[in-house]
């Protein structure tokens, strides 16, 4: 019952976000379409940092009392790193039409993140664009198997403490670590989300979910060197439906049981998924302590 309610509520969120999206119409207190090239001088030359124009556009949209859409037009952009913070006063859509590239050198990052979305409500990321982490150099470094090096590498997309969010028609590729990380979110949906990384890429989970309630991964394609979807402690009411996974390790619950005070995983449904060239269909990573009590409700229906 909890899973069913979660799915219905997420669809209602999608409808509300669609209604509130802005197609070039302004409103009181700001809002409307904000083009980072036309208004803030962003350049699609693969060398001029997109960080300041994007932050300036975000600041304007976040302060608006009516819905806003930020547009990154077609082209190839360089972005050093950025964190887009809320809370904001009205819904925001970030429409990425082009390709955004990260620094290739892992040493350019002081923190294990490239692009982060933090404490935002009613947010949509869309547009058919690509986030390219340029991680192929990092894959060749020593130490990844022990996670002492890979754990400090940047994650392509971090979604931290978002409420009512839609990630739709977006590609993330060649992240140096996880492709997308979901932490502390409530009602967030990934639909037509594409992950692309070579099968030898280490620690590059497609979507890692932790301590979140109401996460849907729908009709998506995930190709990576690690878990297609990995589920950490405190995750509940998750639906993974219509996902094509492979190469990769499959869909993983865990690791669990390694640390004190871990929260249970409750209400996970996996259905209508296709696994190709994966190490396994479902992987249970329960750590050194076999703590099955942490996994309360799980439903599996794989169609391969």
Q: Kindly list the catalytic residues.
A: 249
Judge contact between 116 and 84, C-beta under 8 A.
yes
Partners of 139 in beta bridges: none
Closest CA to 240 of 256, 226, 225, 253: 253
CA distances from 115 to 54, 74, 100, 172, 181 (A): 11, 19, 10, 11, 11
In 93-168, which residue ranges form alpha helices assigned H by DSSP? 136-139
φ and ψ at residue 46, rounded to 5 degrees:
65, 10
Residue 206 DSSP class:
S
CA dihedral 262, 116, 150, 223 (to 10 degrees): 90
Measured over the CA atoms of residue 291, residue 295, residue 296 and residue 302, the dihedral's sign is: negative
Six token digits for residue 270? 């996996």
């Amino acid at each position: 019952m909890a899973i069913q309610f979660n799915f219905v509520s997420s669809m209602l969120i999608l409808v509300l976000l669609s209604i509130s999206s802005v197609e070039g119409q302004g409103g009181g207190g700001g809002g409307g379409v904000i083009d980072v090239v036309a208004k803030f001088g962003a350049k699609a030359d693969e060398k001029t940092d997109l960080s300041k124009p994007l932050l300036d556009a975000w600041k304007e949209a976040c302060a608006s009392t009516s819905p806003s859409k930020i547009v990154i037009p077609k082209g190839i952009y360089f972005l050093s790193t950025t964190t887009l913070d809320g809370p904001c006063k009205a819904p925001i859509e970030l429409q990425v039409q082009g390709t955004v590239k990260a620094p290739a050198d892992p040493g350019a990052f002081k923190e294990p993140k490239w692009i982060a979305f933090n404490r935002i409500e009613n947010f949509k990321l869309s547009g058919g664009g690509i986030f390219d982490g340029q991680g192929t150099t990092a894959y060749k470094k020593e130490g990844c198997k022990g996670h002492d090096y890979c754990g400090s590498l940047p994650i392509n997309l971090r979604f931290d403490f978002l409420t009512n969010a839609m990630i739709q028609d977006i590609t993330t590729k060649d992240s140096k670590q996880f492709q997308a990380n979901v932490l502390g979110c409530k009602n967030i949906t990934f639909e037509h989300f594409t992950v692309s990384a070579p099968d030898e890429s280490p620690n590059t989970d497609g979507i890692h979910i932790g301590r979140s309630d109401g996460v849907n991964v729908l009709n998506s394609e995930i190709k990576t060197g690690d878990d297609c979807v990995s589920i950490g402690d405190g995750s509940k009411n998750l639906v993974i439906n219509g996902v094509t996974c492979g190469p990769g390790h499959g869909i993983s619950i865990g690791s669990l049981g390694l640390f004190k005070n871990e929260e249970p995983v409750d209400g996970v449904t996996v259905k209508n998924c296709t696994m190709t060239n994966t190490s396994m269909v479902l992987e249970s990573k329960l750590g050194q302590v076999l703590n099955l009590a942490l996994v309360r409700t799980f439903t599996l229906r794989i169609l391969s």
